[in-house]
Amino acid sequence: MSLLQQRRLLALLRNPFGNGVRIVELSDDHLRVKRRDSIASVSLRSLKRPPALRKGILGTVVTMRLEDQDDVVLNGADPLAARLFSEEVKEAWVRFNLSVLDKEAARLERILAAVNALGAPLRYAAACQMAPLLEEARGLDASLLSKLQDEAIGPEMVARIAPVRKFVADPRTARAKGIAAFVTAELERWNEFFDTIESKPLTPEQRLSVVVDEDATLVLAGAGSGKTSVITAKAAYLVKAGIRQPEEILLLAFAKNAAEEMSERVEARSGGPVVARTFHAIAYDVIGIVEGSKPALADHATDDLAFTNLIKQILKDLVHRLSDVSKAIIQWFAHFLVEPKTEWEFKTKHEFYTHMEAQDLRTLQGEKVKSYEELQIANWLYENGVAYEYEPLYEHKIPKTGRRDYQPDFRLTESGIYIEHFGVRRHKMADGRERLVTAPFVDRDEYLAGMEWKRQIHAENETNLIETYSYERQEGRLLTGLAEKLAPYVTLNPLPANTIYDRIVELKQVDDFSKLLGTFLRKFKSGGYTLDDCEAKSESMTLGRRARAFLDVFAPVFAEYQKRLGGRIDFEDMILRAARYVETGRYVSPFRHILVDEFQDISQSRARLLKALKAQHPDVRIFAVGDDWQSIFRFAGSDIHLMRHFGEEFGGNFDGQTGVHRTVDLGRTFRSIDQIAFAARTFVLRNPAQIEKKIVPAGAATEPAIRIVTVSKGEDEQRLSSVLEAIATKLEGRSQPESVLLLGRYRYLEPDMRGLKHDFPQLRISFKTIHASKGLEADHVILLNADSGRTGFPSEIVDDPLLSLVSPEEEAFQNAEERRVMYVAMTRARHTLTILASKARPSSFVTELRNDPAYGIAAALGAEAKAYLCGKCGGRLLGVTGKDGRIWYRCEHVQHCGNLLPACPSCGTALPRRAGRTTEALCDCGAGYSNCPECSDGWLVERSGRYGQFLGCVRYPACLGKIRVSVPKGRISKVDTKP
């Protein structure tokens, strides 16, 4: 033991109150610090550096700097004693540090070896491997290395531990450098393997995807980029490199045939039996291992038609059996089948009309109506046994007023009561008065004048008129109010639920609803949702009464469905039951590498199973190959959110960073030439939510590769034959036939295949729906019926908003999935893509492709109808041929707008249009006509009346615009105004 103390007299003078350090003793690896009233023990580990000596007035001052404590300062020491004591403390301090370091030598050497190995690693530095190393290195650094002083351990030891300390200080950079070094070396080591694993050498991007081995790796495999080659090479590489045994690798595919093909290819190339399975197959195996046997599979599990028919049967049985449920079902079909949007939710007539047409507002009686509120009224009348006519001609002839013949909204056939529904709401003014207002795009004054005119007509002719208003629905009393108004005139006779349901079946409304229920049911089960979840989400999304009405039907349907399963299971049960067994450890997974094909099609339930398998062992890797641009099976439960947020869902953790993953973009396509590949890429990326990928095309086009062919009504077969004839002609003299794939958005579009194959034997012609064509390719692709409309392309039978209740993320971009369907269609083609579209009603996709120079589309074949806008609603004016063979232009919104114009009298084909602020409507043929002063679309032509000649609007009698002027020769024309 060695000690140092103050000299007594000097200590008394220096510290008369006795609060300072009086004695410091060195005992083994501790310092004992004595003050007048206390003794403290300080470990040499806390000493930051050797004691420092400074000459003071009353003696030597000895200062010992401590870690996280007040310095120990002894004043008034004897100079010689202070120097000797300081040297002893320094020697003890160095000995202590080296001894502590020596105790951790094995641990240090292990960590140091692992850190140094990052300079030339033999394995990919995945987060799951590096995280334990970082944790151990940080523990050693915190407990020892950070406390060691350079002066205590010497420069050699400082240099030795420096790599560990550097790794701890910046682990992300160290890992990144290690990965880069490994990838470079590994690509070189396995160069011959990559050259020979497939019939053609792998591309640089494919090679990179094989050697990258992050916790979660996402390979973006665009159309025709060779994703199967990548998965095959990855599995073979893992086995040949000794990274995994075949039984530790799980290959997952969505379709049985894809799994079988993958298994054969991998075994042939790796020499080991790496078995590919579908998600359902592995789930079934898990259940069998845990339960000892596999439960029977429901008959409808593999048959979508049988599944939909089961839902239809359940609906029918519930209507006949349970009165409360039957009431809920009838209420749904009568009042909530379509999304209840009104005029006030749209800025323009065109938007409103387009929405209404997409909804197919068909009443229980069978007619199409013009608004959701009219639909409610019509169905209430039908439910209550009140016979009615929709928009009948008024029973009294109205004198010529320039209006169309008066057609009230409804006439009750027994009582003769008329019902007019007025689209007005009440708005409270600042002064407290109420004012009737119309939708944003409706002329309020004109509409209110029309209301007064109708009231006047009924008053003059002494017919009974019942009025209903939009504000009544807004206030929740439209139908109760109607019942009160009709009570004096009508006796209600409600129809039995069975009768109404039979009518619904006749209208084929049950088919689509059964599909909606089926899709909802599968997503409900696979996502693990509850009815409470759906109700809560409905409230947060403000889906309102329609969602409540749907859930009132779904709940008993779901309960009955589960009951009818009995002891059998469906695919949703299969996946979820297996996931639970894996999550709870009842099944122990042997898999360390999980390779997933077609990852864009993954659902929530499949993702849950995947996460459970990954979580069982810390070193499990997920290798996912897919293309979010080809995610087109949302109706079957696929959830694009899982791929777009791949890292968050499946990634690892390292250095406080979550969602660690790696993305590799294959980029290169072996299928489509540049014009097709680039146009398809531009098209799909109009949706900013799609993951951006580069594209390297298979080759360069020497002539236009994409054509749009316009088709007049009834010309479909002729136009298709013309396109096939053109393809066949170019093949003359060639020995090898070329493939032609006909694609349709719907199965019913399949043409006469036997006749086409007979007429064009030199072509290998086939037909597929676009969804069924995924994974296929052909030399030439012809897309059929790219028209607008409910069953056009893009399909206007959009996903019902109710599906958002069982979907984690909604896509905000309009026609998001349909745009991806179009991308799939375009990228089936190697050399040419031909799109057949209606001349009068081309789809919005065709219009976009044709009008945007970015796509580089060749000019359309055949005469193309020029686009004219309707001045009344903003829709399109479409050319139609009248009974007399002449051309007329009619608004696309026939039911709602009714705008009709004759073609130019001079050329008989084009339509005169107003040019800027001029007073004339000019035609492309050069003819000009004076603008109508009353309407925005019409122009004036010569007419004869009681008072001689005048200029009248071509839209007469819909428009009464006219001018009494002398007519300059050659500037007017007589026309027949009857189409």
Residue 326 domain flag: no
CATH code of the domain in which 831 resides: 3.40.50.300
Flag whether the pTM goes above 0.75: yes
Q: What is the CA radius of gyration of the chain?
A: 40
Residues 696 and 763 in one domain: yes
CA distance 761 to 965: 67
Kindly state the average pLDDT of the residues 889-907. Answer: 88
Domain termination residue (choose one: 796, 827, 861): 861
Cis ω on the peptide bond leading into residue 794 (within 30° of 0)? yes
Q: Residue 679 belongs to what domain range?
A: 674-861
Residues 597 and 690 in one domain: no
Residues 607 and 657 in one domain: yes
Cβ of 688: how many Cβ atoms within 10 Å? 8
Q: Is 224 annotated as a binding residue?
A: yes
Kindly state the average pLDDT of the residues 83-87. Answer: 94
Q: Is 20 annotated as a binding residue?
A: no
Higher pLDDT, 895 or 326: 326
**Residue 969 pLDDT more than 80?**
no
Kindly state the average pLDDT of the residues 688-709. Answer: 85
Kindly state the average pLDDT of the residues 487-507. Answer: 91
Residues 151 and 125 in one domain: yes
Domain termination residue (choose one: 835, 861, 887): 861
Q: Which amino acid makes up residue 622?
A: I
CA distance 710 to 785: 10
Residues 835 and 691 in one domain: yes
Place of tokens 């039979």: 502
Query: What is the predicted pLDDT for the residue at 10?
Result: 56
- Quote the tokens at residue 606: 């499949």
Say which residues have a Cβ less than 8 Å from residue 889's Cβ, sequence separation at least 6: 868, 877, 878, 879, 880, 900, 901, 902, 903, 911
Residues 803 and 700 in one domain: yes
**Residue 872 pLDDT more than 70?**
yes
Kindly state the average pLDDT of the residues 73-86. Answer: 92
Residue 228 domain flag: yes
Strand pairing class (763-769; 738-744): parallel
Q: Is the dihedral of CA 886, 887, 892, 898 positive or negative?
A: negative
Residue 63 domain flag: yes
Degrees to nearest 5, angle at CA 593 with 590 and 596: 115
Of 55-69, 335-349, 707-721, 755-769, give the range with the top mean pLDDT: 755-769
Residue 894 domain flag: yes
Mean pLDDT of the chain: 88
Higher pLDDT, 562 or 36: 562
Residue 459 domain flag: no
Residues 813 and 726 in one domain: yes
List, for residues 269-321, the tens digit of each pLDDT value.
777 788 889 999 999 999 999 999 999 999 888 788 899 999 999 999 999 88
Closest by Cα among 618, 683, 627 to 652: 618
Q: Is 221 annotated as a binding residue?
A: yes
Residues 642 and 717 in one domain: no
How many structural domains comprise the chain?
5
Residues 132 and 89 in one domain: no
CA distance 817 to 828: 17
Residues 150 and 6 in one domain: no
Closest by Cα among 955, 946, 951, 974 to 964: 951
Lowest mean pLDDT among 112-116, 309-313, 497-501: 497-501
Q: How confident is the model at residue 402 (pLDDT cuts 50, 70, 90)?
A: low
Q: Do 41 and 31 form a contact (C-beta atoms < 8 A)?
A: yes
Residue 126 domain flag: yes
Q: Is 228 annotated as a binding residue?
A: yes
- Quote the tokens at residue 112: 């140091």
Residue 550 domain flag: no
Residues 840 and 777 in one domain: yes
Domain termination residue (choose one: 600, 632, 662): 662
Residues 724 and 841 in one domain: yes
Q: Is 566 annotated as a binding residue?
A: no
Q: How confident is the model at residue 252 (pLDDT cuts 50, 70, 90)?
A: very high
Q: Do 670 and 642 form a contact (C-beta atoms < 8 A)?
A: no
Q: Is 251 helix (H, G, I), strand (E, B) or coil?
A: strand
Q: How confident is the model at residue 979 (pLDDT cuts 50, 70, 90)?
A: very low
Query: What is the predicted pLDDT for the residue at 589?
Result: 96
Q: Is 226 annotated as a binding residue?
A: yes
Residue 546 domain flag: no
CATH code of the domain in which 38 resides: 2.30.29.30
